């Protein structure tokens, strides 16, 4: 994730929301570490927190993270301790599904990086079906190829790229 995020500058015209399968205490320290290593502002997400361009929001361990419409306009984070989805809380699928049901969905880019299991494949398919763009990390740069492989096999991935090429492709797609 550090490799990917380090390619972006704070003027990126997008918010980045991240689900990492980690226990509660570790997500806060991950956010703090990445915040010190990247030029983007990285934080562990908080319920009700508004999304801002140039910022990264990491789901806290043991909470599902969704993006919802804000009563003040724009979008905000919603955190819930709903039952695990596909054995995970937080779940990538829960996050991705929340994006495609927004009343005025933003331009969506779904990215699946290294990880075990199938979490994220369903949600990535939903992003693609809604007109979004999807990217999966290539096996050559994955520590564990399970999650990207599941999405690739599902046929819902536009690009399969090594992690060091994903940021450049996203920059081209965002036209930034």
DSSP assignment of the chain, as one string? -HHHHTT--TT-SS-EEE-----HHHHHHHHHHHHHHSSSEEEE--TTPBP-TTEEEEPPTT-EEEEEE-TTSSEEEEEE-PPPBTTBSS-HHHHHHHHHT-SSPPP-EEEE-S-SSSTTHHHHHHHHHTT-EEEEE-GGG-SS-HHHHHHHHHT--SEEE-HHHHHHHHHHHHT-
Q: What is the pLDDT of residue 176?
A: 57
CA distances from 144 to 42, 69, 89, 141 (A): 24, 34, 19, 9
Task: Read off the tokens for 164.
Answer: 């060091």
Q: What is the pLDDT of residue 55?
A: 98
- How many structural domains compose the chain? 1
Q: What is the pLDDT of residue 104?
A: 77
pLDDT tens digits for the chain (176 residues)?
A: 999 999 999 999 999 999 999 998 999 999 999 999 999 999 999 999 999 999 999 999 999 999 999 999 999 999 999 999 999 999 999 999 999 999 877 789 999 999 999 999 999 999 999 999 999 999 999 999 999 999 999 999 999 999 999 999 999 998 75
62 touches 91 (CB < 8 A): no
**Is pTM beyond 0.85 here?**
yes
Q: Residue 105 is part of a domain; what is its CATH number?
A: 3.40.50.180
89 touches 65 (CB < 8 A): no
Task: Show the domain range for 28.
Answer: 2-174
């Amino acid at each position: 994730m550090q490799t990917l995020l380090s390619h972006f500058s704070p003027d990126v015209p997008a918010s980045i929301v991240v689900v990492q399968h980690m226990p509660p205490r570790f997500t806060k320290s991950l956010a703090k570490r990445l915040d010190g290593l990247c030029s983007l502002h990285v934080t562990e997400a908080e319920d009700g927190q508004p999304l801002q361009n140039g910022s990264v929001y990491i789901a806290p361990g043991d909470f599902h993270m969704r993006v919802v419409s804000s009563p003040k306009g724009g979008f905000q984070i919603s955190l819930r301790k709903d039952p695990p989805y596909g054995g995970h809380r937080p779940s990538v699928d829960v996050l991705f599904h929340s994006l495609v049901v927004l009343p005025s969905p933003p331009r969506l880019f779904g990215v699946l990086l290294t990880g075990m299991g199938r979490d994220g494949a369903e949600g990535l398919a939903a992003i693609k079906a809604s007109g979004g763009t999807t990217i999966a990390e290539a096996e050559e740069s994955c520590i564990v190829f399970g999650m990207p492989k599941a999405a690739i096999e599902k046929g819902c991935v536009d690009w399969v790229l090594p992690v060091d090429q994903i940021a450049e492709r996203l920059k081209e797609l965002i036209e930034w």
